[in-house]
Structure 1
Amino acid sequence: MSLYEAKIDWRRGDQPFTDKRYSRAHLWSFDGGAVVPASSAPSSVPLPMSDPAAVDPEEAMIASLSSCHMLWFLAFAANAGLVIDRYIDQADGQMGKDEAGRRYLAQVTLRPITIFAGRRPDQAELDALHHQAHDHCEMAHSVKATITVEAAVG
């Protein structure tokens, strides 16, 4: 079993805390040295307690699903002899409420546009590659959100 790690570092500094108006800004650090500014989403915790320039957990989850899907898609496209010059995905997600009224990520839509060099697959082959990528994406298997792929060739 593989182990993945992330370090989350939040510091109160000289802010009051019990008034609940403290900054939610913090840092994510990863084993390769990447450090990402993170915060709550401004839609969840209003400004100035959230940092709109930082990545929030909801955005990170959508990016993780999109990235995982892309990495599998690239592998399967290469196996099919296709050459990809660029892959762009403008993914989004929507929150919903479960039976108990708790918010959760209910719907994620991936909108990959792939630019090929040489042979371009037809829509059926493109859809099959994306279906294969979705079936292999561990992140997609880890969430209960409905994930829709709306693929196009650029």
Structure 2
Amino acid sequence: MPKLHTYSTQVVWTGDLGSGTSRYDAYSRDHLVSVANKPDISASSDPAFRGDPKHHNPEELFVASISSCHMLWYLHLCATNGIVVTGYMDEAMGTMEESANGSGRFTDVLLRPRVTIGASGHIALAERLHDEAHRFCFIANSVNFPVRCEPATEVV
């Protein structure tokens, strides 16, 4: 029987500018994302949808969650396979398609991890482990679009 894990968050809208949602342009899209015993995340919608560009938006956080999950699995697999990672940075990019009716969906996420490994590391194995990390990533396994990975590995 599979183990079940649950995750609880609280999202609170903070964007009432005095007249609630009386008009489409009368309210802010600002909100707080909270998880017990952790710092709050100030969020808004994407600026294309009247959001505050100073705050994270759900789409960015979604792409970040895929990137973060991949990274954590990758680091685990490197540790168990004798690859010493000394640096990891990913500039992930997600593509969302907006439909004529205003709805939308992600069609692609591209991960571009730049990994630095120790001098005794094996680049071929280090790069192959990205494929395995992808197979294990909880978030990538939960989406219905391609998550591509174009890693680069450097030995120091």
Runs of 4+ in 1 over 6 A off after TM superposition: none
Query: 1 CA distance for matches of 2:97 and 2:64?
Result: 18
- Aligned identity (percent) is 34
State the secondary structure of the residue aligned to 2:54. coil
Which whole-Å deviations, capped at 9, do the CAs of 1:110-143 have from their partners, x for residues lacking one?
0000111232322x32332001100000100111
Q: Which residue of 2 aligns with 1:5?
A: 8
| 5+ long unaligned stretches in structure 1 | none
Matched, 1:19 2:23: yes
Matched, 1:91 2:92: yes
Q: Which residue of 2 aligns with 1:72?
A: 73
Q: Which residue of 1 aligns with 2:55?
A: 54
Structure 1 residue 71 displacement after superposition: 0.2
| 5+ long unaligned stretches in structure 2 | none
Q: Letter of the aligned partner of 1:36 in structure 2?
A: I
Query: 1 CA distance for matches of 2:42 and 2:21?
Result: 21
Q: Which residue of 2 aligns with 1:38?
A: 43
State the secondary structure of the residue aligned to 2:96. strand
Contact 2:17 2:28 in 1 (8 A): no
Q: Which residue of 2 aligns with 1:137?
A: 137
Which whole-Å deviations, capped at 9, do the CAs of 1:50-85 have from their partners, x for residues lacking one?
110111111011000000000000000001111111
Structure 1 residue 101 displacement after superposition: 8.7
Matched, 1:127 2:130: no
Q: Which residue of 2 aligns with 1:150?
A: 150
